[in-house]
Amino acid sequence: MKRIRLSAIMLFLATSVYANMNFAPSSECKSCHSNIYKEFTGSMHNNATPSQDPIHKAVWDRHPKNKKAQKYVCGKCHTPGADNLGDMLGKGKKFKGVKALPDANNATHQAAISCAYCHRIDSVKHGKKSNKNIISKKEKHYFGTMKDLAKSSFHTTSSNNKNFQDGNVCMGCHSHKANKAGLNVCSTNDKNELNGANCVSCHMPQVKGSVSSERQTKTHAFHGFPGAHFNQEMLAKYIDIEILKNINNFDIAVNNKSPHAMLLHPLRLSKMFVSIDRHGKKLKMKPHVFVRVIGKGGKATPPWIANAVVKDTMIHGNEKRVVKYAKKLQKGDKVTVHLGHYLVKPKALKKFGLEKTAVATKFYTLKKETFTIK
């Protein structure tokens, strides 16, 4: 009797986490939240599916689960509003043996991380390999942060959700992801190190424009979600670059004031270019690379194969990294520091068939500073 009850409970938990639910299309938000909707459509939250993100597609195309046509293991965070999410993930008894892959013609798959999905996250369930979002079953009732709420003609809203108030609603997907080997492929909060931080303070800053047409405000939380893909300039203020002139050389210090590593995804690579303008001539220093490589047997591998960190020179949270340059600076020299990143390491482009994909080969600027030596 106890075993039957336990099985029933486990099945209920599985289906309550991955139950196929109805989410209002993000397009329905446009009429009232025009500023927010415009920002959202240009964000990765709206472009996270294999059909919309060529880098994600390139990785998924090579994933063993895809090759065997079994299940879309990325769906929990990349297509969480899918009308057959349980089938995709193969969770619960009723989903066993069902094969379900992303469908470019299914609107609920292409909705990616929709407005309604995020604003219905009731709580976050912590897990060893990754966290899970627990979604409110009450349709068109959304959680927010504004305490002085206006009544809406289309939905109800509450501001008493702790995860929204402390900015940790993002941790259902952005906390950590461990593979079968137990290796954390990417992590911001694996050991709860960000529990005292507030994700939205950096990634959803207040910008000009009303939150809605039904509630006029001077500012609203930016829903373009600054990150590695878009709106990097909004994160530049969390990186300080300093220069120190020594007798026969100079140092460049990069101070990462954010609580997590400068880049998190193992495919990415950060690069710092330093040049000196002297009497009309440009002297280029050797570029400096910041990277985290995961792999097996000392070599880089795809995330599902890796069992160790092969190399880690990435600038971590609240770290000040000093890079030394063996060049003597002169009065009047103009030193330009250009710090940015690639979404895909140049050496990995061919492996994933991304050599001709603009978004993968582009160098994204995070911060650029010029110093005049006195």
Distances (CA, A) of 315 to 119, 256, 269, 287: 32, 7, 11, 15
- pLDDT tens digits, 126-183: 999 999 999 999 999 999 988 776 678 889 999 999 889 888 899 999 999 999 999 9
Mean pLDDT of 323-329: 98
pLDDT at 319 over 70: yes
Structure letter (DSSP) for residue 51: T
* Proportion of the chain above pLDDT 70, given as a percent: 90
- The predicted-structure confidence for 21-54, as pLDDT tens digits, reads as follows 899 999 999 999 999 999 999 999 999 999 999 9
CB 326 within 8 A of CB 320: no
The residue to which tokens 């026969």 are assigned: 248
Local structure of residue 356 (DSSP, 8 states):
T
Closest to 93 measured CA to CA, from 21, 22, 18: 18
SS3 of 164-176: the string is: HHCCCCCHHHHCE
Q: 175 is written with which tokens?
A: 């906390």
Q: What is the mean pLDDT of residues 356-372?
A: 97
Distance CA 260, CA 240 (A): 15
Asked if residues 310 and 300 have their Cβ atoms less than 8 Å apart, the reply is yes
Mean pLDDT of the chain: 90
pLDDT at position 89: 85
Name all domains of the chain by residue range, CATH numbers in brackets: 2-47+112-221 (no CATH), 232-372 (2.60.40.10)
| pLDDT for the residue 24 | 94
Element (H, E) at 17: helix 2-18
For residues 310-315, give the mean pLDDT.
97
